[in-house]
Amino acid sequence: MSVITAAVPPVFVSPPAAPTDGLWRLSVDNYHAMMEAGILLDGDPVELLEGLLVEKMSKNPAHVLSSGLTRKSLERLAPADWFVNAQDPITTMDSEPEPDLSVVRGDPRRYKTRHPGPQDLALVVEVSDSTLQRDRTMKLRLYARAMIPIYWIVNLVEGRIEVYTDPTGPDEKPSYRQRRDYGPADEVPFIIEGRVIGRIAVRDLLP
Amino acid sequence: MSAVLGPVLFAPSVPVLPTEPIWRMSVERYHEMIEAGILTEDDPVELLEGWLVEKMPKNMPHRKAIRRLRLILERLAPVGWFVDAQEPITTTDSEPEPDLAVIRGDSEDYSNHPGPQDLALVVEVSDSTLQRDRITKQRIYARAGVSVYWIVNLIDGQVEVYTDPSGPDEKPSYRQRQDYGPADQVPFLIDGREIGRIAVREVLP
Chain segment A28-79, per-residue pLDDT in tens: 999 999 999 999 987 789 999 999 999 998 899 999 999 999 999 999 999 9
- Looking at residue A171, what is its pLDDT? 86
In a domain, A23, yes or no: no
Number of domains in chain A: 1
pLDDT band at residue B21 using 50, 70 and 90 as cut-offs? confident
Q: A38 in a domain, yes or no?
A: no
Q: Tell me the pLDDT tens digit for each residue of B62-118.
A: 999 999 999 999 999 999 999 999 999 999 999 999 999 999 999 899 999 999 999
Q: Are B33 and A39 in contact (CB under 8 A)?
A: yes
The percentage of chain B sitting over the pLDDT mark of 90, rounded to a whole number, equals 83
* Predicted interface score ipTM higher than 0.85: no
The answer to the question of residue A200 being in a domain is yes
Closest of B83, B62, B84 to residue B130, by C-alpha: B62
Output the DSSP codes for B59-76: -HHHHHHHHHHHHHHHHH
With a cut of 60, say whether residue A1 has pLDDT above it.
no
Residue A80 backbone phi and psi in degrees, to 5: -60, -35
Say if A89 falls within a structural domain. Answer: yes
Determine, yes or no, domain membership for A183.
yes
**In A, which residues are within 8 Å of B4 by CB distance?**
180
Q: In whole angstroms, what is the distance from residue B173 CA to residue B84 CA?
A: 24
Q: How many CB pairs below 8 A link A and B?
A: 159
B8-14 long-range contacts, CB within 8 A, separation 24+: B8/A140, B8/A164, B8/A175, B8/A176, B8/A177, B8/A178, B8/A179, B10/A136, B10/A137, B11/A173, B11/A175, B12/A137, B12/A138, B12/A140, B12/A141, B12/A173, B12/A175, B13/A173, B14/A141, B14/A172, B14/A173, B14/A174
pLDDT in tens, B77-89: 999 999 999 999 9
Pairwise CA distance, residues B72 & A132, whole Å: 55
Average pLDDT of chain A to the nearest whole number: 91
**Interchain pair B25, A164: CB under 8 A:** no
Which range marks the domain in which residue A147 is found? 59-205
| Mean pLDDT taken over chain B | 90
Domain membership flag for residue A4: no
Query: What type of residue sits at position B3?
Result: A
Domain B56-203 of CATH type 3.90.1570.10: yes
Average of per-residue pLDDT across A131-155 = 96
For residue A33, which residues of chain B lie inside 8 Å, CB to CB? 36-38
- pLDDT value at A6 more than 50: no
Q: Return the residue of B nearest to A23 by Cα.
A: B53
Tell me if chain B has a CB within 8 Å of the CB of A43.
no
What pLDDT score does B3 carry? Answer: 52
Higher pLDDT, B11 or B169: B169
CATH of the domain at A155: 3.90.1570.10
